[in-house]
A and B are shown apart, each in its own frame.
Chain A
């Protein structure tokens, strides 16, 4: 599963950055939230990418393969992940959308 040399620093998903990929280490949520996460495939070992934050800063949008989902930061607090690098350059579409994505990234750092 996990590469021994990889530097695993667990952080909560709520602290993750846009346009980076993460591996899920643990789902610590409880009850209905936990069940919903598991049902949606947010399970340990899976890789996800952080796509964006909502215009008001919360919730957060992530992508697991082609599937887009959102969760509140307070829910993402209970998902531990580790950074596995930037989102690779994707697809054929290098235009408006990507450029705006970069702008977002820039502002996202604040």
Chain B
């Protein structure tokens, strides 16, 4: 296709401006999710055609401005400056023009092709407010399209506009936002110096000049080594003097911000009519209840509890269906396929692996639907508001709360839930500590160990103790990370409490599906591979004498093949790769009280924590049905190698070490950093080893062995 038939469009706008909803209206289901290169900021792209043009649209992260403080702002700004899209569509929340137009004036400074979409125009009409779009266009020099992602009005108009601007049918005047005369002269002067010396030809000179006045570090660093810096510096000090003369102690960036705001306020006065003054909005009335001094916290906890229950209780049913489906598939194939290595790979490796991936899907879908709902309605910001005081004590943001409690269900969706955190330091810290919030898959193991080594009257306390210990380690780790590696990386809490809104179902579903699909793609391949490797390591090589012995047993009439298979597997285990690894690790695991058999269980447990119990079953040649977990507890109790001390130490290790391959895969995807993924693995292992060592040695001293 000819290049002039392709239009590159970038969507820019504030968080909560409905930018993503508009994006979904435009791009439909034809979306591609990825990351902006080198950062963890999500990038959603869509491609579609309109009137013979191919429109490629990128949803830039929601930002309040283009100052390079947060990764989102940096990404948005760099994208506009470097990729030079054909036009920027600035999505503006028409019910909150004052706030949203700040970004618009900054986009104007960039002298790009700008198209302003006034979203949520239906709500403006409901408020009996009218906006003079013609006058607005005159003031801002950009075409304005009233639209609503909810009612879909204005969408086709927007599409037409995109095409007509590109084809030249509509000529836009690239207005710049003019500052007061004196400042404007300084801007022009600096701009002239930059232009004459032909520095940074690719960057808009006017924008560079303004950024210099605002003391934007990136631009200063860019121009400082050049020969014209001396001249520029002189003008900058004149600007400072000028501002200081009229406004004592005012910094230039504050001054420009004020000028922008007064331009915006003036524009609003000229164009918006019948703005009621300050009625108490529905949002405030809802907040009077949801953020109430006494009821706010209980309501919040109730909502969190509800989400947790929905995700894991309701999610259990589809999980069982998926599990059942795969089990019947296995037993069906078991019946029709002749015994071979290929069959074993397919059934125990591949199908088990695919099942292991899909089984998390219900959790992920439900959780992300809930999170999208919280975000779309506006309650997410309130979550942060309500718990921030607690989370801030350990150096985290209020929004870290949701990933943390989700961790009690499953680490995989919990790590993905950390996406709601916009700051990288906060996000990685949260992802690092989530595994210490003991996930559901570890519970069966605790149950077996506790019933093996402890009196039933103690069971509850010990279980509670294990969970508390995990929380303690998690909080401690967060504090540690935030006071070392991410010392200076914190999201300012200065945050909008957006108006409550009715969410757009389609947009929520789309977002949820994007995330789920990303999980399937990334985690899928890794888990599949891991399952095959673990299956292989547990099955090969085989000892021939043992195999012969069991083969003759199988030949006997009335032989219980399944029972014999189990016995052989148990006896073969020490000879397999897994067995050798278990033995190899004994020097490291002895101080924790683990012999090679427990090591195998731990290594296999990397695939998924449920497998720890089933591997121990294999070791004792016990099947993994429920009634037989009692037998497993009994076998452990009667094993002279094990004791209460070993039991406690083993629980602590399982609680703290690498949660599972799936979580590592998701961590790597979400952090987009090999280094941090390695730290994640190394840190959980180290913490687990140290804690188990301490616990085991203390227990031995206390006489529990």
Contact = CB atoms under 8 A, between A and B. Distances in A.
Interface of A: 26-27, 31-46, 51-59, 61, 63, 65-72, 75, 90-93, 96-98, 100-101, 103-104, 107
Given A31-B69, A39-B65, A51 B284 contact: yes
Given A58-B389, A68-B496, A90-B278, 10 more contacts: A36-B492, A54-B386, A57-B389, A59-B493, A61-B385, A68-B287, A72-B388, A75-B492, A98-B280, A104-B293
Interface in B457-502: 492-499
B389 A56 contact: yes
A40 B99 contact: yes
A107 B293 contact: yes
Interface in B488-526: 492-499
Given A43-B258, A54-B296, A107-B293, A67 B96 contact: yes
Interface string B376-389: 00000100011111
B279 interface: yes
A6 to B, nearest CB: 18
B279 A90 contact: yes
B44 to A, nearest CB: 23
B494 A36 contact: yes
A91 B280 CA distance: 6
A68 B279 CA distance: 13
Contacts of A71: 492-495
26 contacts: A27-B254, A35-B69, A40-B64, A40-B494, A41-B102, A41-B261, A42-B494, A43-B257, A44-B250, A44-B258, A54-B388, A54-B389, A59-B389, A61-B287, A66-B96, A66-B281, A68-B499, A70-B493, A70-B497, A71-B492, A71-B495, A90-B278, A91-B278, A91-B280, A97-B284, A97-B288
B65 A35 contact: yes
Contacts of B288: 96-98, 100-101
A86 B95 CA distance: 26
A40 B496 contact: yes
B152 interface: no
Interface string B270-293: 000000001111011101110111
Nearest to A56: B389
B387 to A, nearest CB: 8
Looking at chain B's contact residues, the main secondary structure is helix
B392 A72 contact: yes
B70 A32 contact: yes
A42 B495 CA distance: 11
A55 B281 contact: no
Lowest 3 CB-CB distances: which A-B pairs, in order?
Answer: A91-B279, A32-B69, A97-B288
Which of A51, A52, A107: most chain B CB closer than 10 A? A52
B390 A68 contact: no
Contacts of B253: 34-35, 38
Looking at chain A's contact residues, the main secondary structure is mixed
A23 to B, nearest CB: 14
B625 interface: no
A20 to B, nearest CB: 15
Contacts of A58: 388-389, 392
Contact of B64 (A36, A53, A55, A61): A36
B421 interface: no
B558 interface: no
Interface of B: 64-65, 67, 69-70, 95-96, 98-99, 102-103, 249-250, 253-254, 257-258, 261, 278-281, 283-285, 287-289, 291-294, 296-297, 381, 385-390, 392, 492-499
B215 to A, nearest CB: 10
Contacts of B392: 58, 72
Contacts of B499: 68
A100 B257 CA distance: 36
Given A32-B69, A72-B493, A97-B289, A38 B257 contact: yes
Contacts of B287: 51-52, 61, 68
B385 A70 contact: yes
Contacts of B249: 26
Given A54-B389, A67-B96, A72-B388, A93 B285 contact: yes
Contacts of A33: 492, 494
Contacts of B387: 56
A71 B397 CA distance: 12
A56 B311 CA distance: 28
Contacts of B279: 90-93
Contacts of A40: 64, 99, 494, 496
A67 B291 contact: no
Given A32-B69, A55-B294, A100-B288, A69 B497 contact: yes
Nearest to B281: A66
Which of B96, B254, B385: most chain A CB closer than 10 A? B385
B244 to A, nearest CB: 14
A42 B65 CA distance: 14
Nearest to B63: A39
A57 B254 CA distance: 29
Nearest to A72: B493
A27 B257 CA distance: 12
A95 B389 CA distance: 30
A97 B284 CA distance: 8
B254 A55 contact: no
Nearest to A49: B278
Contacts of A38: 253-254, 257
Contact of B292 (A34, A45, A63, A100): A100
A61 B493 CA distance: 11
A63 B291 CA distance: 15
Nearest to B295: A55
Which of A56, A90, A100, A107: most chain B CB closer than 10 A? A56
Contacts of B95: 66
B261 A43 contact: yes
Contacts of B386: 54-56
A78 B283 CA distance: 28
Contacts of A63: 284
